[in-house]
Amino acid sequence: MRSFTGRDILSLNEFERQEFFRVFEIADRLEPIARNRQNTDLLRAKTMVTAFYQPSTRTRLSHEAAMHRLGGRVTGFADPKTTRAGDFYQESLKDTVRMLEAYGDVIVMRHFQAGAPQEAAGWSSVPVINAGDGWGEHPTQVLTDLYTVLRERGRIDGLRWLAVGDMRMRTMHSLGHALSQFDCPVTFVAPPADALFPGSPDMRMPEEYKARFARSGLDFREAEHVEQAIVEADVILVEPVIQPDYTLAHHEASEEARPSTPANYKITRELLAAKAKSDAIVLHSLPRMDELPQDIDTTRWSRLWQEAFNGVVVRMALLALVLGAVE
């Protein structure tokens, strides 16, 4: 297994099976610290720099919380408008990253352009963690999802997944890469063009990703309606289909009425009660729209808040690993 020390976490395409388990092993070791609301000094001498070119609630704050739990320091920006990268100068990624690498020991970057964290890693002498890039990938979210499955179901292999939502989403791409390392068949359910309203985009898995998944041996199929796959699903991963364009820097709040999500792409309490396996679990990276109504939170299928908590734990493990504190 390759060492994690000094390594960039950019894509799950480059992750090997044993590496997933290594992250989860360290997460298990660090989990009690977060559960007991303690802080340690494992990363006392380290600083994390956040570079968020797009809004974030969970990903930025859970990285920060993880760093605090491990006794490290945090600096960075949550909105590029407060920096020269977002004003008149539109400072280049290269110049920005050459600054940031001097300010800390790891850079966590979210960007509206797919591939920006990869480019940053090319300029940076410290590890770069991809916190979501355009319609690219979101590796730390999917590591969190898999860790949640491991904790909640006791295993990853042998479980069948249903993934529903906009397949242009970065989480879905990281998911396909990750599941190719496990015995986990997955069914993708997403709207074709015009399914939401006239002119709505094709949200099915892009051909480029399907080709990559096929090459890596992922057992996947596509279906048109969640009802075609929910009965046999052990893990139901939901993402919105009513959502902004992730390649834009800013998503304006809108007063306009939004279309509602068609039943094909919605997981409701009634559907779960009628069709889901008794021990299936539901995950969502959040934020949600109406594809996963709030009343599912008080069903036995929901693991949304465990997933949110595990987001801190997995990021503690990643930071400890890439900063060389646990090898």
Which residues bind to ligand ASP, rule: CB under 6 A?
Answer: 56, 58-59, 132, 138, 141, 170-171, 285
Pick between residue 76 and residue 132 the one whose CB is nearest to ligand ASP. Answer: 132
- Residue closer to ligand ASP by CB (options 120, 325) is 120
Residue whose entry in the numeric block shows the structure tokens 């992922």: 218
Closer residue to ligand ASP in complex, CB, 42/143: 143
Structure tokens at 36: 């007991």
> CB of residue 51 vs ligand ASP: minimum separation in angstroms?
15
- Indicate the residue among 124 and 141 with the shorter CB distance to ligand ASP: 141
Q: How far is the CB of 265 from ligand ASP (least distance, A)?
A: 15
Shortest CB 312 distance to ligand ASP, Å: 13
CB 75 within 8 A of CB 105: no
Closest approach, Cβ 1 to ligand ASP, in A, equals 27
Nearest to 144, CA basis, from 296, 289, 320, 308: 308
Give how far Cα 256 sits from Cα of 249, 252, 253, 279, Å: 20, 11, 9, 39
To the nearest whole angstrom, how small is the minimum distance from the Cβ of residue 41 to ligand ASP? 28
Minimum CB–partner distance for residue 174 and ligand ASP (Å)? 9
Cβ at position 18, least distance to ligand ASP in Å: 26
Phi/psi at 75 (5° precision): -140, 175
CA dihedral sign, ordered 256, 260, 265, 267? positive
Cβ closer to ligand ASP: 131 or 233? 131
- Looking at the Cβ atoms of 56 and 228, the one nearer to ligand ASP is 56
In the complex, the smallest distance separating the C-beta of residue 200 from ligand ASP, rounded to whole angstroms, is: 19
